[in-house]
Structures are given as C-alpha cells and as structure tokens.
Structure 1
Amino acid sequence: MNPPDAATRPRLLVLASTFPGRDDDGTPAFVRDLAVEMAEVFDTLVLVPRVPGAPTREVVSGVRVLRFPYFPRRWEDLADGAIIENLRARRSRWIQVPAFVLAEALAARRAARRFRPDVVHAHWIVPQGLVATLVGQAVPRLVTTHGGDLYALDTPVLRKLKAWVARRAGHITVVNEQMAETVRALGGDHLPVSVEPMGAALPPGTPREPVTADGPCRLLFVGRLVEKKGVGVLLDALRAMAPGTVTLTIVGDGPLRAPLERQATGLPVTFAGQLGRTQVRDAYAAADVVVVPSVPAASGDQDGLPVVLLEAMSTGLPVIASNLPGLNEAVADGDSGLLVPPGDEDRLRQAIARLAGDPTVRARLGAAAAERAREYSITAVGARYRDILLRLAGDGGRSLPAQHGGR
C-alpha cells in the first residue's frame, strides 16, 4: 500500500499508559517506537498520562505527545512504571484508578474533538481500549493487548468489559497465538484478531565483542524486577553452578529488587538498576548470553513476548528463555536459542552450563537469533501496523479479515 499524499495525511490518535518521559529514562519504548513508524504516514498524536520530569506537550521524531494529569501531582504515581505492578506494590494506589480512567476519558474526548482522528490505536484493552470505545465510537479503532491486561485483569466484571471492547473494535492485535485464542474466547471466533508482536528498535551502540572462551560466561537479564520475570529462579539456578563459571548483570528495577538482592548474596551478580536505552545497548554488547526466565505469576499474569528478548536476538546474542507462549514463537529451541520449562531451576542451570562451556554453540545460536529477529524489527512490524491502520481509516472501521497476521 502506497503512503498517502502529505496534503491528505490521515490522523492517528494513540492512547497508551506506558511511554518514556525522557530520552533514555529506562521506560519501555515500544509504544513510542511504533508511533514514530506510524508518523511516516499518519499525522500522529499520542495521549498518555503525566509522569514526573516529563513535559506536558512535546514533539518526538514527528510525533506529537500530550500528557494528561489524573491526580494531585504530589501523589500521582500510578502510571510511573507498570500500572499493574504499582497496584500490587502499594494497594493504596487503587484510589488513583477511578481518577485515572475519568481523566483519560476526558482527555481523549477533548483530543478527539480537536484533533478529529481518522483512526485510534489503543494500547491495552483496559483501560485505553475501554476509553476509546466509550468516547470515540464513531472512529475506527485498533486495540492492542500486550499481556498483563489479558492475563492478570481476570475478574468477571473485567472479563465482561474486555469482551465488550473486543466486540466493538475494528481490529485487535496480540503478541502471541495463545493470546489470540484468549481474545476469541472472550468475544467470539468471528473477532478480527491477528498476532503482531511489538518491534525491536535499538540505536547504534558499542559493537558486540567477539565470542571467546576466556573467563566466565557473562549472563545478562533486562527487565522489571517483578514476579513474572522469574529472576528468583535464575538466582537459584546460579547458586548450584561451579564458582567462576558465570557472572550475571541484572538491568532493571522494581518492587522485588531488595529481596532479590538479599537472595543474590554470595553470588557473582551485579544489580545495575534501571538504565537508559543506549546503556542497555552497551550492556548487550558486553554480554555473552541473555536469560529471559519468565514464569506465570500467582495473579495469572505472564509475559506475552518481551521486547527485551527480541532486542537481544537482534544484536546477535544467544538467548535462554522460558518455554511460554510468545517466547517459544520467537525462539526455536536449539536453533535460535534454548527453551526451558518455566520455573525449572535445574533445567535452567543445565542450559546456562551448556552455553557457558561452549562458545561455538553460543556463536551459532547468536547468528541464527539475529536472522530470526529480522521478522521482529521495528521496520517490519511498523509496516504491518501501518497496513492495518490505513485499512481501518480507509474503510470507516469495518473489521479486517481475522487471518491478517504478522508471520
């Protein structure tokens, strides 16, 4: 599909709750990356909640960003990081939820009236998909679920709300096949659902160091320090390994950092904290293996397909990942990485030992991972999303065929 003429660019309104407040602030940037890709074709406005240190209005690589307030600034911290994990970390934050939804609805209504979008892209079924459905029923809508909203928000009331949103969307995208089945179970087999993972985008950084057998194998974990990331399982696996075999750098922060630091006592583990994107790119360059030991959380939440996994693969790093939906769609076991049962510290230890002891296997898996990751590049993913959004904008919101997909 050819891009529209600049004089008739369609208008895209993006609703999301996670968006970097500053360059390199460590916030996951997949919504921003995709919006920048969309700005090549669309006049793009992103509406997101206010976070500390971020301007109320700005333009990022051709994308207009508007941040709405939702609570008195002194206590406004629900959207500073991951909303679901923030609620688990401090239950008093639930008082901010009604204010957040109302403020987002009012802000979206104002944006719709002033900006007059041709199409809306709502990231997460709840609350953004709900808000988009309530305030912009006449505007075609693409709803994208990333995992937590589908897996963890699973009360009877929320299931009914999600089904209501799904049945009224012009199209729904998910990041793995299991999530597609879950969405269809919510709203019916007729729903126009396709699997479209977020894309990996990294700025140029330090070149990858050559694979050698010298010294311990350098493991890297990147992600929020929350239950579903499985860092505790990784630390238990390391404790059973011979001294001097590996080192581990943990990049990220979150509510479990303090207990994980206590658990890591005596292990060759460095907690680097939350790093900006350029620093993370350098961390990939200095690593030998990236470990993604995700597990289903007690709440039912689990990773859909972490962008970190795709980023690591795109740099030519071999990965060890849990055999969960989404992760096992990106990683072919024994070809572009190794898969282990989630929560199985012994199998995880064996996989780490295998790669730590064989740089030739690491090099082979890393090369295959880089090739596989091309399908998940932000350029490739952006092209598929542009196609979906242009079709929605052009047909007035009539549903796309359910078989439209990313791979």
Structure 2
Amino acid sequence: MRKRRPRVLILASTFPAHPGDGTPEFVGDLAVELAKTMDVRVLVPAVPGADLVSSYKGVEVHRFRFFPRRWEDLADGAILENIRGNWTRALQIVPFLVSELIHVGAHLRSFKPDVLHVFWIIPQGFTAYLVTRKVPVLLTTLGGDLYALVDTPIKPILKRVLKHAKHTTVMNAEMKRQVEGLGITPDRVSVEPMGADLSEIVPHTVRETDRVDILFVGRLVEKKGLTHLLDALKDSTIDYSLTVVGDGPLGEELKAQAAGMPVEFVGALSKEKLRQQYSKADMIVLPSVRAVSGDQDGLPVVLLEALGSGLPAIASNLSGIDSVVTDNESGLLVQPGNDDELRNAIERLAGDTELRRRLSAEGKRRVEERSVPAVGRRYASLLKRVAEQ
C-alpha cells in the first residue's frame, strides 16, 4: 500500500490574490515546492479581488472573510503597516482574529494536517497557539512581527507563541539571538531565509553607460528607506534615472519628495515585469533602515532575486543582508540612514564599470544556494521532522 504523503496546512497573511499581481509570492513559491513531496493547503485572509477558494500554481488556497467586503483590506499588504497608515483599520483586528480562529479549526478538522507551517508570530502564530495543542507547529518569522513587537506590552504573548511551536525559523542571526532571548533553546530555532525564485530570470548584462538607471523595489514604508535614497540623489552630480517599484502608505509623501527629480513611480509589478527591470537597470539600491517602531528587514527576497539576475546591488549593512552581501565583494554595504555614505556608494558604482562586473558575478554565485528549490527541500525536511515530534 502506498504510504500517505505528509499533510501541511500553511497559515499566512501575505499572499497574492492572483499570481503576478505584485504581492510578494515567497509563501506561494515555497508552497509549490513543498507540494512536490507533501499535500499542501494554504489558508489566508480575504483581500479585494481574490476568490475564496482558488489554486495557486496547483496548490489549494482557501481564504476567510472577516469584515464587510467594502472595508475588508487589513491584509491587503502588510498588516502592521496598513494599521499605521490608517488607524481605523484597527477595527478589523478583532473580527480578523475571531474569523481566523474559526476557520483554522474548521480546516484542522477537514484537512487533518500532520503539521502546521505558520508564517508570522502575530497573528497566525497566536491563532495556532489558541486553536491546537495536538498538531505540531513550525513557525516562521520574517522580521517585522519580531522586530516591531518584541519590546511592546505583548512580549509575553510572543514568548507563549514561540514556546508553543516545535521549531522556529528566522531570517538572520540577529533574529535568532532575539528569539533565544525570549527563552527558546538554540536547538529549536534556526536561520532559514525564504528562497529566491530564479526560474525564467532575465540575465542582467553590465554595460558601459554615462547615464545610470537605478532601481528601487519595496513597499513604500519607513523601513525600506526610500526617503534616504531620494535625499542622497538630490545632491548627486551623476546623470541618473530612478525607477521605484512598489506601493504603500507613504506613496504620496515620497512622490512629493521626488518632485522635479528624474524619478518614476511605477507601482507594484508582476514577477515577469520585475525581472525585466532587473535586466535593464544598472544597479539596485535597497537602503533599508530600522523604523521608529523597531521594524526592519530580515533578508529581502527582492535582493536575492536581483543578485541572482546579476544586477549589482547597494544595500544597508543590516543583519541578514550582510549574510549575502559582503562589502566590495558581492555588493556595496552602507550604514542605514547615512545619506552621504549612500550617495558616495552610488557615485562610486556608477563610475566604475569593472566594479559592477565583479559585483555582478559574485552576487549571482552566492544566491544559487538560496534558490526556491533549494530552500524548499530544506523546509520540507524540517516540516517532516517537526511532524514526527
């Protein structure tokens, strides 16, 4: 008799309404890889334009309603940033949690998973903590939920959720230290970033040019640091153009700051169109900072994908980013929020074609082991181990 494949129920809050709609797809990419060896079901909140039951590249996706459709946008993007952008969205929090509790319970009964893969400590980890003690949990924190909440009054809840999980994965060594500081033993937490989708990547070719095309990709929120990039370019003497990919609550404020500059805001793009941007830009600049709330990037998937295409990168010297980008070897690192240092790095890279070629080759080499298939195999192995505990 054929042995039943392990079943994993994935809980997350960020998931595209449709493939290629511009929403980060790292959860979906991983789900597709896991489905090669496991039976996978994804449960995520409703967002505008998404069907309640659908298929994401062959993976079964279910969504739960939690608020009147007209205002149901809490999970349309990053939940914490959505609330900061419009405090009235906080009215959706309690209905969201209640609905998620009900629907997770229903899917535990109907799908009968062997293991839960839960993305974000709050709210999904908290929901899993409340709903079940019988199904083992692999918890993945991507940065924002840990950085922004670890020094708040809900810290005791974070501890309970983390202790409830059989194992926790984080994006960098600093996050691992923070999780261990909350009482989790080192053997129950590991660094395992999300993978870069390098399939059908459009290779970048370094070119000789007098006018550099600079690319920024990210949510238009404080931690992505676009305001620092605009300030750095404002006083730059180089001939450049800047393409900004992404949207978010600070969009109008940042567009006002960029008025009169050679900057184009193109909104969120599909994977296909984003890959074209990697191909035709001369460099990508990701000037991440630690937000006032404490939130910061772990290891942006977009950085991995850009490096994987061969696009030279300038990024902030933050934990996680520094695990892939070594200054002057696979990219250039600058201190977060230092506009002068950022400007100098951009001008240096713009004026040195050989440096761009060298960084392009090394960055591409380093990302190969972080591809979605490689990361998917590691997560599949970890999930199967957690399911047996």
- Using the size of structure 1 for normalisation, the TM-score is 0.93
Residue identity opposite 1:363 in structure 2: R
Distance 1:367 1:6, change over 3 A: farther
CA distance in 2, matches of 1:354, 1:174: 33
Residue identity opposite 1:217 in structure 2: V
- Written as runs of structure 1 = structure 2, the 5 A alignment for 1:165-184 is 165-184=161-180
Kindly indicate whether residue 227 of structure 2 is the aligned counterpart of residue 224 of structure 1: no
Question: Conserved in 2, the CA contact under 8 Å of 1:48 and 1:65?
Answer: yes
State which drifts further: 258-267 or 42-51: 258-267
SS in 2 for 1:102: helix
1:83 aligned residue (75, 79, 85): 79
Q: Tell me, which stretches of 5 or more residues in structure 1 are unaligned? A: 398-407
Kindly indicate whether residue 192 of structure 2 is the aligned counterpart of residue 199 of structure 1: no
SS in 2 for 1:187: coil
SS in 1 for 2:265: strand
Q: Which residue of 2 aligns with 1:387?
A: 381
Residue identity opposite 1:107 in structure 2: H
Q: Which residue of 2 aligns with 1:335?
A: 329
Question: Conserved in 2, the CA contact under 8 Å of 1:203 and 1:281?
Answer: no
Kindly indicate whether residue 136 of structure 2 is the aligned counterpart of residue 136 of structure 1: no
CA distance in 2, matches of 1:279, 1:169: 38
Question: Conserved in 1, the CA contact under 8 Å of 2:150 and 2:158?
Answer: no
Distance 1:214 1:392, change over 3 A: same
Shift of 1:136: 2.0
Question: Conserved in 2, the CA contact under 8 Å of 1:203 and 1:278?
Answer: no
Q: Deviations over 1:320-356 (max 9, x none)?
A: 0000111111111111000000000100011101110
Q: Which residue of 1 aligns with 2:33?
A: 37
- Written as runs of structure 1 = structure 2, the 5 A alignment for 1:13-162 is 13-154=9-150, 156-162=152-158
SS in 2 for 1:290: strand
Distance 1:348 1:156, change over 3 A: closer
CA distance in 2, matches of 1:158, 1:28: 27
CA distance in 2, matches of 1:366, 1:352: 15
- Written as runs of structure 1 = structure 2, the 5 A alignment for 1:279-298 is 279-298=273-292
2:265 aligned residue (253, 260, 271): 271
Q: Tell me, which stretches of 5 or more residues in structure 2 are unaligned? A: none
Residue identity opposite 1:101 in structure 2: L
Q: Deviations over 1:18-53 (max 9, x none)?
A: 001012110000000001110011110000001111
Same amino acid, percent of matched pairs: 52
Question: Conserved in 2, the CA contact under 8 Å of 1:166 and 1:191?
Answer: no
Distance 1:160 1:384, change over 3 A: same
Residue identity opposite 1:148 in structure 2: G
Question: Conserved in 1, the CA contact under 8 Å of 2:12 and 2:118?
Answer: yes
Shift of 1:165: 1.0
SS in 2 for 1:45: strand
Residue identity opposite 1:111 in structure 2: H
2:346 aligned residue (347, 352, 357): 352
CA distance in 2, matches of 1:338, 1:72: 47
Question: Conserved in 2, the CA contact under 8 Å of 1:130 and 1:165?
Answer: yes
CA distance in 2, matches of 1:372, 1:154: 31
2:362 aligned residue (368, 375, 390): 368
CA distance in 1, matches of 2:350, 2:313: 12
Displaced runs of 4+ in structure 1, greater than 4 A?
A: none
CA distance in 2, matches of 1:144, 1:97: 21
Question: Conserved in 2, the CA contact under 8 Å of 1:144 and 1:172?
Answer: yes
Q: Which residue of 1 aligns with 2:315?
A: 321
Kindly indicate whether residue 171 of structure 2 is the aligned counterpart of residue 215 of structure 1: no
CA distance in 2, matches of 1:200, 1:146: 14
Residue identity opposite 1:169 in structure 2: A
SS in 2 for 1:235: helix
Residue identity opposite 2:320 in structure 1: G
- Using the size of structure 2 for normalisation, the TM-score is 0.97
Question: Conserved in 1, the CA contact under 8 Å of 2:201 and 2:309?
Answer: no
Shift of 1:7: 4.6
Question: Conserved in 2, the CA contact under 8 Å of 1:164 and 1:187?
Answer: no
Residue identity opposite 2:26 in structure 1: F
* Number of aligned positions between the proteins: 389
Residue identity opposite 2:182 in structure 1: L
Shift of 1:288: 0.9
Q: Which residue of 2 aligns with 1:403?
A: none
CA distance in 2, matches of 1:159, 1:54: 33
Q: Deviations over 1:210-264 (max 9, x none)?
A: 32222311110001000000001001111111152x2111001111111111111
CA distance in 2, matches of 1:343, 1:100: 35
Residue identity opposite 1:30 in structure 2: F
CA distance in 1, matches of 2:279, 2:2: 39
Shift of 1:380: 1.1
